[in-house]
Amino acid sequence: MFPTSSVTRSLTFASVEWSSWRDLPPRLMAVVALLAPALLAALVVTQTVGEEKGVTIDTRLAGVAAAGAAIAARRGVVIVVTVAAAATALVRALS
């Protein structure tokens, strides 16, 4: 986690410092715009299936998959969280 946060802080600092005297090139702006969603996705995957020394597949994965389906269906945040919680609870009840 430390290297990722250090890279993020460095890129944020560089972009703020650079943008204070010059606009970023459009190609670099496109990359910067994709950093936050990519880091969030990495965090979600790490917290969902990551374990101290490996990968674990459990009920949390069902909740994340259900949330992904609700997001793909363009539902609101409250609905997405509710669907994810319900899917996780259902899988836990059945297992």
Residue 12: predicted pLDDT: 75
Q: How confident is the model at residue 19 (pLDDT cuts 50, 70, 90)?
A: low
Q: CB 27: neighbour CB atoms within 10 A?
A: 8
What mean pLDDT is predicted for residues 57-73?
94
Higher pLDDT pick, 16 / 64: 64
Beta carbons of 48 and 60 less than 8 angstroms apart: yes
Query: Where are the chain's structural domains?
Result: 1-52, 58-95
End-to-end alpha-carbon separation of the chain, Å?
32
